[in-house]
Structure 1
Amino acid sequence: MAEKKEHKRLTIAELRNCKGFENYSDEQAEATIKSLEKLSILFYGLYMKQKQQKLSLIKKENKKGGTDERETKSGKRDAA
């Protein structure tokens, strides 16, 4: 079983160290951090969905072809 990583939230000080955010008030910084957090969760969900779809497609192709190999982008065969 994979270990669960502990996620660290971006701090106001860390945000202010980024170009363009140096002069943000605490309220602006907190709102920005919340928005970035929501956006990162959205992107992660989309990434995981795409990853699962690719895995399902590979499994279907392997069942159809009866092999544990798949073709890479270069056209060479890789063991799956």
Structure 2
Amino acid sequence: MAEKKEHKRLTIAELRKCKGFENYSDEQAEATIKSLEKLSILFYGLYMKQKQKVQKQSLIKAANKKGGTNERKAESGKRDAA
């Protein structure tokens, strides 16, 4: 089972070490950190959705290779009955 990672919030001091943010006031830095946090949550949500979609597609492909879909079996049964 995967370990739960502890999330660390960016500090004002860490932000100010980045090029272009050196002279930000505390208020500007805090607003920027909040925006970055919201953006990272949004991107993570999109990443997880895409990951689930890919996993679902992989399961469908594996099921199709293994024995086909139920629709194929139903069509086959109809032809056999005719």
TM exceeding 0.5: yes
In 2 relative to 1, CA 78–67 (structure 1 residues): closer, same or farther, beyond 3 Å?
farther
Mean Cα deviation higher: 63-72 or 17-26? 63-72
**Contact 1:12/1:30 (<8 A) preserved:** yes
- TM-score for both structures, normalised by structure 1: 0.68
Structure 2 residue runs of 5 or longer lacking an equivalent are: none
Q: Which has the higher strand share?
A: 1
What RMSD over aligned residues (CA atoms) do the two structures have, in Å? Answer: 10.1
Which string of whole-angstrom CA distances, capped at 9 and with x for unpartnered residues, describes residues 19-66 of structure 1?
000000000000000000000000000000000066556556655666
48-57 or 29-38: bigger deviation? 48-57
User: Percent of counterpart pairs with the same letter?
Assistant: 90
TM-score (norm 2): 0.67
RCO higher in structure (CA 8 A, sep ≥6): 2
**Which has the larger displacement, 67-76 or 17-26?**
67-76
* Consecutive unaligned residues in structure 1, runs of 5 or more: none
Aligned residue pairs, count: 80
